[in-house]
Amino acid sequence: MKQCNLNLEEEGVKRKLQLQELEEIRNEAHENATIYKDKSKIFHDQQVSRKAFVVGEKVILYHSRLKLFPVEIQNLKMEKKFVVNGHRLKPYYEGFSVKKVEVIHLKDLIYLV
């Protein structure tokens, strides 16, 4: 060591400073990642549509094995109740009003060129 002109105390202080700088960089990266995750979660939560179901309302159920948002439903034909994932339910709309439809035949159209 003496041949290389190295002072162990000075080098030790420099090494400690380098380690402290590395720790600060790591902490800053961790804070930035946390901020990014929070912003991403807020954006995602805004995009997710909230569903509110009323007792007695008809719904369509897609095949589901997950139980993330448990909802108890009952089949109209059977009295059996079971729990399903609420994210897989969609409201069932029935009884759309039928309006009078006007029919236009293509042969009656006049083409302007």
- SS3 of 9-60: HHHHHHHHHHHHHHHHHHHHHHHHHHHHHHHHHHHHHHHCCCCCCCCCCCEE
91-113 confidence digits (pLDDT tens): 777 776 677 777 777 776 666 65
Tokens of 12: 């030790």
pLDDT digits (tens, 9 = 90+) for 31-68: 999 999 999 998 988 877 677 777 777 777 766 565 55
